[in-house]
Amino acid sequence: MPDDAAPSPVINALLDRISSRQEDVVALTQDLVRIPTVNPPGDNYKPCAELLGERLRKRGFEIAYVRAEGAPGDTDRYPRINVIARRESGRPGPCVHFNSHIDVVEPGAGWTVDPFGGVVKDGRVYGRGTCDMKGGLAASVIAVEALLDSGIDPPGVLEISGTADEESGGYGGVAYLAERGWFSSPRVDHVIIPEPLNVDRVCIGHRGVWWARIETLGQIAHGSMPFLGDSAIRHMGAVMEKLEHELYPVLNARRSNMPVVPDGARTSTLNINSLHGGQGEEFEGLPAPLVADSCRMIIDRRFLIEEPLDMVRGEVKDILDALEAERPGFRYSLTELFSVLPTLADENGPVAQATARAVRQVLGRPAQFICSPGTYDQKHVDRIGKLKDCIAYGPGVLDLAHKVDEWVGIDDMVASAKVMALSALALLTREG
């Protein structure tokens, strides 16, 4: 449908049907949030997957439960259970897949409501995972159910999945499934991931990430005679000094052409995720007087599509090598923990354009094409599944993800369900 065309009576009826299911989208969000799927360690994946699977089974979907055996974190106590629901129309056409992760981060302290209560107030549903991203999952279910009930009967295939471990990299979820063909053509053609990137935005990609552990080494000695030892903590201090005065200014000066939000994320960033040296702190009482012989730092480097991964690694290694050459006694190890290349879908591709047109139809304003500051499961759909027509779109305010008193707006869930229903319809009928 052209952007300026008046919606047909059939489309208006579909949108009205979704409006009438506001209580349903709220109730489903509450049911999902009340299952505390905290990762790590990966609690309650099975009951959450079964809640989704049983609901969709009753709607005529074929349900598959896939355990990511052998994936990081998968154990008999914490099985990585994924659910994939598929409904074929019986007529040739593409497959539109809505993928949401079911895991959430720990709630943390300071909540003013029960983080797993699904409290409704002031037009919002509160709770850990409401925004990121069980509200989006609920909205996608309502969108698909309303489309099936509309009488339009589009051709092709609809899929909905609830997957594990996105918060810890997605290796027990979308990555595992993608390696086995669940996110590849010809099984799937278009993927929408309802991540919380604001209801009027279409997210076409994300920055890259490189996590690494730096360890500086020293020599243990009595704390009253530190000159007889060699402090690994002081060596790490020299590393931090180099990062502060040599690397951070370089990163701050770089700027991407990717439309990353917020604006500060259009530059390269480096976060010191943790720092520990010397004796542990897990005991009560006073420590022994010792010179630290080891100090460890975890760094989280987010990089731009214009930056090759080898350069990202090399900039840190060059600093460490320079210190090894110029600082007496300096020794180090550098261990890569995790890396993902930046991802960028075509904003003129079918799924991006169909979703953008639907945003304009539903909200009456143009969609903004953006990229995410952090990674999400598009990386696995793209790199492993080799499926490029994948975007993120869903309700929720990005800045609320992982915060205390997380919430999702009820009106935004309803609006995003309308957008997802129209997007799916356009793609299934090849109008996207």
Surface-to-core class of residue 177, CB atoms within 10 Å of its CB (0-12 exposed, 13-18 middle, 19+ buried): buried
Catalytic site residue from 43, 145, 159, 166: 166
- Find, among 407, 432, 396, 364, the residue nearest to 15 by Cα: 364
Q: Is 336 helix (H, G, I), strand (E, B) or coil?
A: strand
From residue 401, alpha-carbon distances to 126, 129, 132, 319, 395 in Å are 12, 8, 6, 34, 12
| Residue 166 falls in the annotated catalytic set | yes
- Whether the bond between 350 and the residue before it is cis, its omega within 30 degrees of 0, is no
Q: Phi/psi of residue 66, each to 5°?
A: -125, 115
- Find, among 72, 69, 75, 68, the residue nearest to 161 by Cα: 68
Q: Tokens 């500060």 map to which residue?
A: 264
**DSSP one-letter string for 101-143:** E--B----S--SS-TTS--EETTEEESTTIIIIIHHHHHHHHH
From residue 403, alpha-carbon distances to 42, 46, 128 in Å are 19, 25, 8
Specify whether the CB–CB gap between 29 and 413 falls below 8 A.
yes
| Residue 310 falls in the annotated catalytic set | no
Q: Are β-strands 368-372 and 201-206 bridged in parallel, bridged antiparallel, or unpaired? A: parallel
Report CA 423 to chain centroid distance, whole Å. 21
Catalytic site residue from 103, 195, 230, 293: 103
Specify whether the CB–CB gap between 291 and 231 falls below 8 A.
yes
Surface-to-core class of residue 400, CB atoms within 10 Å of its CB (0-12 exposed, 13-18 middle, 19+ buried): middle
Q: Tokens 């008046």 map to which residue?
A: 6
Residues designated as active site: 103, 166
